[in-house]
């Protein structure tokens, strides 16, 4: 097992464990009952139990364990039974159900290697026994046989008020300004509601929330009164905090209190009653609820939902109002919501929780509506409620199916939107092209589909705040650039407090611990000082502290966090401190503590304690962290990075000497590593992926980085150490082409295979009555002469090379019992690797003699051919242009001939010095028989890599710069220039000519235009477009043009009437001698018809024009 590898995937597993262990219970608890009236009595329905089982399936009426690989091979979903209980209550407040019904909620997909998965905790040997990889890490779901990952998504940091400017807010109503504060409030079950505070131009503030996708605004001071039984004076004092000279603030607070006052509504009770009365019509609460109850319900479920306590809500609102006024006055600036400081992660478990909550409500709603509908029928009016209820519950939809749909499509079907900004693209297939690509899926984090459509580029920019959390190198170029990022290899995502006992125990201790260290508890008094800093804990205001004491407190807290001995300060607490500053647009000062889950954290070393400490992105902004020891400034620097490469993701860290390369080349390498034909897995016989690549002669790179070992990358090698000469030799190496030594190729360089799985289901496309009647078989085996192709059971021979058009399998047609032969439709010859007999997805089993569903694994030989793509690890890709005979290759004095020749012109403009250093280091390593460490930032100006590796070369009698005298293989003469010659790790990329070539002579044509169709798959042609046409015109090649656009396209001979010039009026008729002649109906003439050659689309144009009353006339001479 590899702990390091495990840590990369851990966030996904933790998140799903949170859902299964805590999320389901929390959702159940917070799920609201539904009310309805029947025969003038009030009823209430509610889920009272939810139970998720372990993955099992029924086999011969016994429950047996269901393992992930069974799902993979059978092409089904890895899921577990999900059951629940719905209760019916009489009366709104009743706690005693009159009836309970156990319901089957379908099957819930289970994340592989999560606590509910049978693979959890298995050793490597046991994993192999279960037909998994030795290093299987899980973290994905298996849906219909495909491995699917719920992508990490960036979310606004939970429970932290963020000050913003948004132009769009001015459209929200008259007087609305761009100023606002937004807070994403997250409940303990990780469902969230976003609240906004808006500044109105006259100085008032309103709070906005969404209810059933409609927006509502509440005046802030009114809300304050609803939250606390208080006086206007107290509200004023709370907001102003003794800063009476600040007339900007005092004027606005006074105005708000005056303007938002409603006649005779003063006490908390009255305000709640007022709010309730406004919402009564909107809410679907029973009529027996009082206005106050409704008002409370709205505040409970839509205002600051992370704080159950009204007093806490009040204090938070006060803080947010202060922050908003401070921003409007220009005392503090806006927060940058695009920076990592205000971000956290949305993971599978959280989305699952949100979906579950909503689906439970939907389930109850449909139960209610079906039940009520039943009684609308006069005949059934007197049915017993309990029985009807039971029946409707049983025929309700299955919640598990909704999860399956979500994972299969990545689409979210939701009424509320779940406080998310997108409805699709949550799930991606975890492509097992190679190990690196697979593992990268679990480290990638997307900014959100909404941002992909935005035209501004500011969100894509690399923020300094994301240093150490998001990799600056590992992002694709093109459309998703800067939106799809990858976590650094050291970055971790915190678990929910419920999953970590230490955090859970620490949380209640924090306020009292802080109070003993200088914090004044918030409920101590109403007025502190306006200069005091506010301390919040997970979005709950807990106290105030004097500035100087605050700073000391933060330093102490960080020390305690690094040491980890104080029970009140857990390791994963984030201690964010933004100091008061006179600088313009600086952040609103305060101390915010976070213990919640789903936050980014990363390790650095605390210089005071010398121990590793986890820090968050928000606090990092105001910390002094040195990268290397000699950067440490005494008295200023408090922390130091664990390593200078800590800022990189796993992939970026695998590029050797990446510090020598031009930056974009390292980005290209991160992309190309993910397109490499490598070793995705070792369990090939147990996999039925649509397409799997395998490279044959793999090696560990001689020049490696530390991460290569740490994350077991060498167990899944993806390339080969090639002897390389940088020389412009034959002309076949121009423009990024590369020459490969034919003998090297013959000895196995770059050899590989592609595996494809074809599912053949004889029931496909048949109705339910016709299915399960067709079976594979070959009854005519003695007479059909197919013995060379097909076995007696009707299935292909394993190990046989099958060519396009050859017989593939036979089956027995149920209608007449005759044998039907099907041919192999593929266009490339393949070996039959495996024939897998599949059982029906129900898993009940069928007699093996009656097979009607198989999966054939085909193996395609994919040795390098001209046009295949290769690349070094420095973003230097090239296309194989020639397999050059070994005798013609240049050779050195020692007799070495290169495997690969590349052109020196690949270097000057791209500046991949790292590649040159790699070649040098690889050469020295090959000579001395040792691996070379190429981790970035090891060398500097005084101690250069060239010296280090040049020295090694010199020692063994080679030129220190890697140059060698070479002789031409063809003439035998010595080259005048010395050639740079060494060893470089080469990857073979998956783009292969065999998958891409397109040729066409004759073929399908479009029925309407008779022009050749497009598309490689269907044998179409390549478009000869406008620009190509322009080119031929410019050359004056008119015959060539005529050939391309007419002769080889839609050449047609058309009859036209010379008299009227029409092509549409011509009909065929029989003449007196019974011969067919054409006649123009308009001119009544048969002699006037002549035949012209035109492109057939022309007739289409004529017809289209005729449709709009335009005649087209041809003048024919």
Partner 1 sequence: MSLSVTQLTRQPELDILEIKNESIVFTLSNTDISVANALRRVMIAEVPTMSIDLVEFEANNSVLCDEFIAHRLGLIPLVSDNVDKFNYTRDCSCSERCDQCSVEFKLNVKCSNQRPIDVTSSDLIVVSNNNNSVIPVSSQTTERTDEIPIVKLRQGQELRLRAIAKKGVGKEHAKWSPSCIATYQFQPIVTINQNRMDELSDKQKEEWVGSCPTKVFGYSPHNQSQPVSVDEPMRCMYCLECKKKAEAFGKPDLISIEQKQDKFIFTVESSGSLKPEDIVLSAIQIIKAKLNSIQTQLSEGMI
Residues at the interface with partner 1 (CB under 8 A): 684, 696, 742-744, 746-748, 751, 753, 799, 831, 833, 859, 861, 885-887, 891-896, 953-954, 957-960, 963-965, 967, 969, 971-974, 978
Nearer to partner 1, 538 or 833 (CB): 833
Q: At what angle do helices 220-227 and 310-328 cross, to 10 degrees?
A: 160
**Sheet strands (E) in 363-442:** 427-429
Nearer to partner 1, 99 or 897 (CB): 897
Residue 648: other Cβ atoms inside 10 A: 29
Q: How far apart are CA 783 and CA 776, in angstroms?
A: 17
Q: How far apart are CA 149 and CA 155, in angstroms?
A: 18
Nearer to partner 1, 274 or 980 (CB): 980
Q: Each residue of 744-754: b (16+ CB within 10 Å) or e?
A: bbeeebbbbbb
Give burial (CB, 10 Å; 0-12/13-18/19+) of 924: buried
Q: How far apart are CA 900 and CA 725, in angstroms?
A: 7
Shortest Å distance, C-beta 869 to partner 1? 22
Q: Which of 428, 308, 349 is nearest to 597 (CA)?
A: 349
What is the distance in angstroms between the CA of the first residue and the CA of the last residue of the chain? 86
Residue 933: other Cβ atoms inside 10 A: 14
- Cα torsion 656, 658, 659, 663 to 10°: value is 170
Q: How far apart are CA 556 and CA 921, in angstroms?
A: 47
Residues forming beta bridges with residue 199, ordered by sequence position: 205
Q: How far apart are CA 429 and CA 141, in angstroms?
A: 10
Shortest Å distance, C-beta 961 to partner 1? 9
Is residue 399 within 8 Å of residue 82, measured between CB atoms?
Answer: yes
Is residue 828 within 8 Å of residue 996, measured between CB atoms?
Answer: no
Shortest Å distance, C-beta 435 to partner 1? 17
C-alpha distance from residue 1085 to each of 1056, 1067, 1090, 1112 (Å): 12, 11, 11, 19
Shortest Å distance, C-beta 848 to partner 1? 20
Element spanning 366, H or E? helix 348-376
Q: Which of 263, 267, 269, 239 is nearest to 251 (CA)?
A: 239
Q: Each residue of 863-893: b (16+ CB within 10 Å) or e?
A: ebeeebbbbbbbbbbbbbbbbbebebbbbbe
Nearer to partner 1, 741 or 810 (CB): 741
Q: How far apart are CA 810 and CA 762, in angstroms?
A: 11
Shortest Å distance, C-beta 747 to partner 1? 5
Shortest Å distance, C-beta 859 to partner 1? 6
Nearer to partner 1, 635 or 972 (CB): 972
Strands 703-704 and 612-615: unpaired
Looking at 900-1049, list the stretches that DSSP marks H as alpha helix, in order from N- to C-terminal side. Answer: 913-928, 945-955, 993-996, 1026-1035, 1038-1042
Residues forming beta bridges with residue 615, ordered by sequence position: 602
Query: What 3-state class would DSSP assign to 594?
Result: strand
Shortest Å distance, C-beta 676 to partner 1? 19
Element spanning 320, H or E? helix 310-328
Nearer to partner 1, 423 or 892 (CB): 892
Shortest Å distance, C-beta 688 to partner 1? 17
Shortest Å distance, C-beta 679 to partner 1? 12
Shortest Å distance, C-beta 367 to partner 1? 55
Nearer to partner 1, 631 or 746 (CB): 746
**Sheet strands (E) in 162-254:** 162-165, 176-186, 192-200, 205-211, 214-219
Shortest Å distance, C-beta 968 to partner 1? 8
- Cα torsion 126, 130, 134, 140 to 10°: value is -120
Query: What 3-state class would DSSP assign to 338?
Result: coil
Shortest Å distance, C-beta 904 to partner 1? 19
Shortest Å distance, C-beta 807 to partner 1? 21
In sign, the C-alpha dihedral spanning 8, 9, 12, 16 is: negative
Element spanning 435, H or E? helix 435-441
Is residue 256 within 8 Å of residue 239, measured between CB atoms?
Answer: no
Q: How far apart are CA 25 and CA 16, in angstroms?
A: 14
Q: How far apart are CA 337 and CA 352, in angstroms?
A: 25
Shortest Å distance, C-beta 927 to partner 1? 12
Nearer to partner 1, 894 or 909 (CB): 894
Residues forming beta bridges with residue 185, ordered by sequence position: 193
Shortest Å distance, C-beta 792 to partner 1? 19
Shortest Å distance, C-beta 124 to partner 1? 16
Q: Which of 522, 498, 590, 499 is nearest to 553 (CA)?
A: 590
Nearer to partner 1, 7 or 696 (CB): 696
Shortest Å distance, C-beta 969 to partner 1? 8
Nearer to partner 1, 116 or 981 (CB): 981
Q: How far apart are CA 872 and CA 1068, in angstroms?
A: 68
Shortest Å distance, C-beta 1011 to partner 1? 42
């Amino acid at each position: 097992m590899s702990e390091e590898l495990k840590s990369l995937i851990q966030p996904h597993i933790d998140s799903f464990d949170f859902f299964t262990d805590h999320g389901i219970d929390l959702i159940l608890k917070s799920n609201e009952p539904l009310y309805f009236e029947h025969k003038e009595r009030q009823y209430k329905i509610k889920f009272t139990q939810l139970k998720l089982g372990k993955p099992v399936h029924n086999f011969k009426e016994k429950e047996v364990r269901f393992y992930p690989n069974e799902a993979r091979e059978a092409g089904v979903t890895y899921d577990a039974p999900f059951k629940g209980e719905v209760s019916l209550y009489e009366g709104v407040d009743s706690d005693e159900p009159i009836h309970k019904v156990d319901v089957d909620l379908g099957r819930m997909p289970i994340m592989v290697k999560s606590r509910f998965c049978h693979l959890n905790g298995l050793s490597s040997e046991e994993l192999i026994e279960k037909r998994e990889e030795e290093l299987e890490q899980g973290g994905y779901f298996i849906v219909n046989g495909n491995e699917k990952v719920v992508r990490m998504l960036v979310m606004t940091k939970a429970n932290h008020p963020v000050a913003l400017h948004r132009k769009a807010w001015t459209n929200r109503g008259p007087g609305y300004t761009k100023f606002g504060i937004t807070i994403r409030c997250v409940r303990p079950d990780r469902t969230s509601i976003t609240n906004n505070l808006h500044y109105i131009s006259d100085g008032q503030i309103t709070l906005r929330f969404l209810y059933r996708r409609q927006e509502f605004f509440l005046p802030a001071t009114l809300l304050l009164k609803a939250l606390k039984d208080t006086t206007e004076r107290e509200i004023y004092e709370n907001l102003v905090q003794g800063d009476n000279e600040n007339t900007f603030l005092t004027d606005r607070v006074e105005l708000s209190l005056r303007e938002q006052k409603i006649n005779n509504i003063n006490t908390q009770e009255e305000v709640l009653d007022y709010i309730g009365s406004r919402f009564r019509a909107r809410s679907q609460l029973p009529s027996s609820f009082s206005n106050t109850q409704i008002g409370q319900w709205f505040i409970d479920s839509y205002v600051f939902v992370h704080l159950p306590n009204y007093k806490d809500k009040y204090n938070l609102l006060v803080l947010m109002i202060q922050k908003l006024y401070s921003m409007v006055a220009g005392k503090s600036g806006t927060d940058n919501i695009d920076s990592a400081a205000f971000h956290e992660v949305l993971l599978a478990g959280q989305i699952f929780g949100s979906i579950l909550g909503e689906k439970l409500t939907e389930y109850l709603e449909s139960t209610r509506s079906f039940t009520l509908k039943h009684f609308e029928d006069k005949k059934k009016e007197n049915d017993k409620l309990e029985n009807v209820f039971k029946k409707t519950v049983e025929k309700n939809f299955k919640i598990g199916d909704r999860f399956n749909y979500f994972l299969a499509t990545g689409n979210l079907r939701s009424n509320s939107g779940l406080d998310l900004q997108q409805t699709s693209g949550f799930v991606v297939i975890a492509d097992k092209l190679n190990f690196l690509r697979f593992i990268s899926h679990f480290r990638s984090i997307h900014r959100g589909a909404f941002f992909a459509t935005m035209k501004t580029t500011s969100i894509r920019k690399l923020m300094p705040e994301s240093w150490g959390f998001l990799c600056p190198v590992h992002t694709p170029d093109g459309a998703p650039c800067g939106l799809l990022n990858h976590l650094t290899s050291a970055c971790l995502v915190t678990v929910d407090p419920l999953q970590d006992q230490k955090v859970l125990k620490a949380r209640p201790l924090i306020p009292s611990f802080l109070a003993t260290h200088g914090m004044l508890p918030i409920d101590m008094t109403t007025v502190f000082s306006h200069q005091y800093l506010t301390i919040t804990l997970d979005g709950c205001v807990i106290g105030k502290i004097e500035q100087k004491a605050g700073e000391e407190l933060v330093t102490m807290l960080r020390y305690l966090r690094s040491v980890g001995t104080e029970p009140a300060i857990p390791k994963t607490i984030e201690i964010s401190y933004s100091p008061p500053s006179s600088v313009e647009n600086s952040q609103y000062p305060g101390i915010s503590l976070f213990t919640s889950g789903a936050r980014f954290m990363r390790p650095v070393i605390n210089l005071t304690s010398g121990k590793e400490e986890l820090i968050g992105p928000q606090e990092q902004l105001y910390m002094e962290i040195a990268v290397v020891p000699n950067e440490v400034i005494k008295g200023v620097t408090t922390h130091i990075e664990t390593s200078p490469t800590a800022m990189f993701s796993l992939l970026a860290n695998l590029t050797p000497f990446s510090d020598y390369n031009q930056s974009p080349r390292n980005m290209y390498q991160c992309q190309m590593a993910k397109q490499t034909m490598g070793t995705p897995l070792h369990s090939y016989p147990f996999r039925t992926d649509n397409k799997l690549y395998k490279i044959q002669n793999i090696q560990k790179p001689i020049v490696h980085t530390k991460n290569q070992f740490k994350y077991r990358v060498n167990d899944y090698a993806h390339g080969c150490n090639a002897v390389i000469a940088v020389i412009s030799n034959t002309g076949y190496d121009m423009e990024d082409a590369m020459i490969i030594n034919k003998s090297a190729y013959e000895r196995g360089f770059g050899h590989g295979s592609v595996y494809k799985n074809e599912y053949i289901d004889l029931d496909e496309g048949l109705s339910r009555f016709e299915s399960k009647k067709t079976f594979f078989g070959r009854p005519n085996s003695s007479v059909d002469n197919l013995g060379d192709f097909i076995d007696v059971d009707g299935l292909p021979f394993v190990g046989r090379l099958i060519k396009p058009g050859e017989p593939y399998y036979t089956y027995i047609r149920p209608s007449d019992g005759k044998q039907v032969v099907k041919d192999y439709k593929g266009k490339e010859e393949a070996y039959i690797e495996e024939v897998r007999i599949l059982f029906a997805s129900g898993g009940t089993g069928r007699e093996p003699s009656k097979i009607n569903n198989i999966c054939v694994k085909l193996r395609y030989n994919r040795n390098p051919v001209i046009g295949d793509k290769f690349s070094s690890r420095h973003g230097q890709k090239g296309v194989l242009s020639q397999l050059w005979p070994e005798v013609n290759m240049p050779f050195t004095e020692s007799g070495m001939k290169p495997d690969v020749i590349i052109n020196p012109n690949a270097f000057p403009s791209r500046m991949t010095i790292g590649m040159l250093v790699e070649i040098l280091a690889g050469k020295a390593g090959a000579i001395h028989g040792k691996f070379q460490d190429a981790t970035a930032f090891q060398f500097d100006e005084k101690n250069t890599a060239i010296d280090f590796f040049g020295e090694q070369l010199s020692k063994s009698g080679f030129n220190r710069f890697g140059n060698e005298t070479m002789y031409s293989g063809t003439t035998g003469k010595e080259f005048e220039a010395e050639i740079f010659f060494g060893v470089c790790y080469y990857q073979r990329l998956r783009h292969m000519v065999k998958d891409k070539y397109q040729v066409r002579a004759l073929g399908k044509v479009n029925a309407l235009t008779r022009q050749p169709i497009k598309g490689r798959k269907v044998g179409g042609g390549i478009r000869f477009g406008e620009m190509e046409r322009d080119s031929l015109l410019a050359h004056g090649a008119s015959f060539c043009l005529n050939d391309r656009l007419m002769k080889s396209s839609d050449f047609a001979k058309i009859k036209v009437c010379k008299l009227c010039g029409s092509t549409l009026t011509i009909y065929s008729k029989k003449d007196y001698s019974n011969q067919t002649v054409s006649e123009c109906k308009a001119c009544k003439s048969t002699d006037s018809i002549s035949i012209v050659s035109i492109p057939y689309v022309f007739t289409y144009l004529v017809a289209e024009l005729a449709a709009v009353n335009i005649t087209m006339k041809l003048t024919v001479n």
